[in-house]
Chain A
Amino acid sequence: MNPKAAKFVLPALIVVVLAIPLFVTVPYYLHIMFMIFLLATMGLGWNLIGGYGAQLSLGHSVFFAIGAYTAVLFVVYKRLTPLVGGVIGMALAVVAAVIIGLPCFRLRGPYFALATIASGEITRTLLLHFKDFTAGANGVPIPFHGNDPLFLQFSSKAEYYYLALLLLAVVFMIVRTMERAKIGRYLAAVREDQDAAESLGVKTAWVKMAAFMLSAVIVAACGVLYAFTVGYIDPDSVASVDLSIQIAVVVIVGGIGTLWGPILGAAVIVLLTELTNMYLGAVRGGASLVLYGILLIVVILVKPNGLISLFDRFWPKKQVAHGTTA
């Protein structure tokens, strides 16, 4: 972004976003904004490995599900605050990232994508199978005890809105710092040419694993926040292939390997889906997903660097520096 634009656009955007809940009180609209923030955060997390590291993961629902289920089950069985349960969930997501990453990073191209899909499906199958513990396909409702910040329970949507926004801001800063730090350059090297990077002394396996672990933590945190906002989780909503795909699509539509891409992608996809559901949903289900699929196809064919590249001419330099060759 050139300095001039940054001076005005960014602060204005921040003020608007912070002020929205003061004027908008319709829970549905706040929920739409919440979903944009949440998907954008997940996209930023996915981007670490999927974008900067160019490892097309289609199994990130594993981490989302681990975060959500760990925090929720701790509340249900032990009445442990999700502030602790969530952290345990994020730690477990790191463990899962290592278990999945160790073997999968040896695979390349479509094999990696397929192996991550299989990891996601295994997680979903296990959640469905151990009914006594996870309630299987019935899902787990979170008992509501009224306003209780310690248990992430609020009677209005605004609190969740700000929590998601805060999470987005924190993750944004983390990713921005990483992008400029050594690990960001190493990841870029892995993306451009894994073998060359290795021969130059970059420990590609370690770099990819570190990015994968961080990306798992971020997505797990989103899972925790999602669970307590919606108040109910089941394997189909938190552990489906569709979710994994959506996380990836948000980034690809927005702009893979860029900082603002996931945010733009999340906004475009959530608004597109909600608007079509609002106007066409009554006619036939599925219309919004048709548009979502078409959007993905068009972006792949016409704008492989994502919709963010439409803005390239406003800040040409920045985009070159990030080199988004898909």
Chain B
Amino acid sequence: MVGGVYALVAVGLTLIFGVMKIVNFAQGEFVMLGMYVSWMLATFARISPYPGLLIVGAVMYALGYLVFKFLIIRVIGKPDEAFILLTLGLSIVLQNLVLVIFGAEYFSVDTPIKDKAFHMAGLSLSVPRLIAFVVALLMVTALTIMLNKTDLGRAMRATSESREVATLLGIDPIKCFTIAFAIGIVLAGIAGVLLTPMFYVFPGVGTLFNLTAFVVVVLGGMGSVPGALLGGLIIGVVEALSSTYISLDLAQLFTFLIFLAVLFLRPSGLFGEAAK
């Protein structure tokens, strides 16, 4: 079920990649920021994570917008390396800025439903995980509808197909990039909120998701929203199975082996359109 959360992190990443053709190495850090905002709301304003979703979403949108306007926009059109390194630098700054401000302590958010679980056919399913999964599913559906049915979504897809042609058709590619990037960050933030009832909040938590999110995105096909959902679920299952039946500390190994296998055998992923 943690696969649902992986999917949510990955959907944000894949949206940014799909529209802008760039990989955001700081995605995990935005998840971490979402967790901190959610924790602050819970601790200082007594707003529990789920109603706080909207506030976190708004905060993350603003943050994504600012990051785009001040940093990302300057490397558009430059080689991939510039973008990889820029977002790597951003991830180092964010992670350590949080460390400087909040220290290295582990925080946790208490919610009344934290330890509740459904029991069904011998399986137990914790409520926060179920909520995370359902919200992930809703977000992916909403995103798919937006991409396919609204003018903005169509403009984004056109930009992703060909920036030049989109410009000729009167679409402002920079505007599309801005919105896609900001939405990608919002999705990361929402994933963070959904994670706070299950995970400790600490500065390095984002790195746990960064690499996994890449794996999920590549597995599903870079830029494919349903692919990210399916990839997230597959990786969630793989991790659960390998840590239960083989060895807890080898769970990550299998994730990475799958990742390499997909990269080498089918770089376009399960749903990708011949990308290389």
A contact set with B: CB distance below 8 Å: 54, 56, 103, 106-111, 113-115, 117-119, 121-122, 125-126, 128-129, 241, 245, 248-249, 252, 284-287, 289-290, 292-297, 300-301, 304, 326
Task: Find out whether the CB atom of A285 lies under 8 angstroms from the CB atom of B253.
Answer: no
Task: Find out whether the CB atom of A121 lies under 8 angstroms from the CB atom of B71.
Answer: no
Q: Mark B50-80, 1 if CB is under 8 A from A, else 0.
A: 0000000000000000000001001100111
Q: How far is the CA of A296 from the CA of B92 in the complex (A)?
A: 9
User: Which residue in B90, B252, B260 is a CB contact (below 8 Å) of A103?
Assistant: B260
With A111-B263, A129-B247 in contact, do A286 and B71 touch (Cβ < 8 Å)?
Answer: no
Query: CB-nearest residue of chain A relative to B83?
Result: A110
Q: Which residues of A contact B74 (CB under 8 A)?
A: 301
Q: Could you show 13 A-B contacts with beta carbons less than 8 Å apart? A: A56-B80, A106-B264, A107-B263, A107-B264, A115-B263, A118-B256, A121-B252, A125-B250, A289-B96, A290-B100, A292-B92, A297-B71, A300-B82
With A129-B250, A301-B86, A326-B79 in contact, do A284 and B99 touch (Cβ < 8 Å)?
Answer: yes
Q: Which residues of A contact B95 (CB under 8 A)?
A: 286, 289
User: Which residue in A113, A117, A284, A297 is a CB contact (below 8 Å) of B89?
Assistant: A297
Q: How far is the CA of A121 from the CA of B254 in the complex (A)?
A: 11
Q: How far is the CA of A297 from the CA of B211 in the complex (A)?
A: 21
Q: Is B23 an interface residue (CB 8 A)?
A: yes
Task: Find out whether the CB atom of B23 lies under 8 angstroms from the CB atom of A326.
Answer: no
Q: Which residues of A contact B86 (CB under 8 A)?
A: 296-297, 300-301
CB distance from B57 to the nearest CB of A (A): 26
Q: How far is the CA of A45 from the CA of B215 in the complex (A)?
A: 28
Q: Which residues of B contact A289 (CB under 8 A)?
A: 92, 95-96, 99
CB distance from B239 to the nearest CB of A (A): 13
Q: Which residues of B contact A122 (CB under 8 A)?
A: 253, 256-257, 260
Q: Which residues of B contact A119 (CB under 8 A)?
A: 260
Task: Find out whether the CB atom of A109 lies under 8 angstroms from the CB atom of B80.
Answer: yes
Q: Which residues of A contact B267 (CB under 8 A)?
A: 107, 111
Chain B interface residue count, CB cutoff 8 Å, equals 45
Q: Which residues of A contact B100 (CB under 8 A)?
A: 284-287, 290
Q: How far is the CA of A289 from the CA of B249 in the complex (A)?
A: 28
Q: Is B119 an interface residue (CB 8 A)?
A: no
Number of A-B contacts (CB under 8 A): 126
Q: How far is the CA of A54 from the CA of B97 in the complex (A)?
A: 31
Task: Find out whether the CB atom of A125 lies under 8 angstroms from the CB atom of B252.
Answer: yes
Q: Among residues 198 to 228 in chain B, which have CB atoms less than 8 Å away from a CB atom of chain A?
A: 203, 207, 211, 214-215, 218
Q: Is B259 an interface residue (CB 8 A)?
A: yes
Q: Is B171 an interface residue (CB 8 A)?
A: no
Q: Which residues of A contact B253 (CB under 8 A)?
A: 122, 125-126, 129
Q: Which residues of B contact A54 (CB under 8 A)?
A: 81
CB distance from A320 to the nearest CB of B (A): 20
User: Which residue in B78, B92, B218 is a CB contact (below 8 Å) of A114?
Assistant: B218
Task: Find out whether the CB atom of B260 lies under 8 angstroms from the CB atom of A115.
Answer: yes
Q: Which residues of A contact B99 (CB under 8 A)?
A: 284-286, 289
With A284-B99, A287-B100, A300-B82 in contact, do A293 and B260 touch (Cβ < 8 Å)?
Answer: no
Q: Which residues of A contact B88 (CB under 8 A)?
A: 245, 249, 296
- 7 further A-B contacts with Cβ under 8 Å, apart from A129-B247, A296-B85, are A114-B214, A115-B259, A118-B215, A128-B249, A241-B207, A241-B211, A285-B100
Q: How far is the CA of A119 from the CA of B90 in the complex (A)?
A: 23
User: Which residue in A110, A241, A285, A286 is a CB contact (below 8 Å) of B23?
Assistant: A110
Q: Mark B237-276, 1 if CB is under 8 A from A, else 0.
A: 0000000000101101100110110011001000000001
With A103-B260, A113-B84, A326-B79 in contact, do A287 and B252 touch (Cβ < 8 Å)?
Answer: no
Q: Which residues of A contact B260 (CB under 8 A)?
A: 103, 115, 118-119, 122
With A103-B264, A297-B90, A300-B75 in contact, do A326 and B82 touch (Cβ < 8 Å)?
Answer: yes
Q: Which residues of A contact B211 (CB under 8 A)?
A: 117-118, 121, 241
10 nearest A-B pairs in the assembled complex, by CB-CB distance: A293-B92, A286-B99, A293-B93, A296-B89, A286-B96, A289-B96, A297-B89, A109-B80, A110-B23, A118-B256
CB distance from A53 to the nearest CB of B (A): 12
Q: How far is the CA of A252 from the CA of B267 in the complex (A)?
A: 28
Task: Find out whether the CB atom of B96 lies under 8 angstroms from the CB atom of A301.
Answer: no
Query: CB-nearest residue of chain B relative to A296?
Result: B89
Q: Which residues of A contact B203 (CB under 8 A)?
A: 286
- Most chain B CB within a 10 A radius of its CB, from A121, A128, A249, A290: A290
CB distance from A197 to the nearest CB of B (A): 16
Q: How far is the CA of A296 from the CA of B215 in the complex (A)?
A: 25
Q: How far is the CA of A76 from the CA of B7 in the complex (A)?
A: 44
With A287-B96, A293-B92 in contact, do A252 and B85 touch (Cβ < 8 Å)?
Answer: yes
Task: Find out whether the CB atom of B276 lies under 8 angstroms from the CB atom of A108.
Answer: yes
Task: Find out whether the CB atom of B249 lies under 8 angstroms from the CB atom of A293.
Answer: no
Q: How far is the CA of A249 from the CA of B100 in the complex (A)?
A: 22
CB distance from B72 to the nearest CB of A (A): 10
Q: Which residues of A contact B90 (CB under 8 A)?
A: 293, 297
Q: Which residues of B contact A113 (CB under 8 A)?
A: 23, 80-81, 84
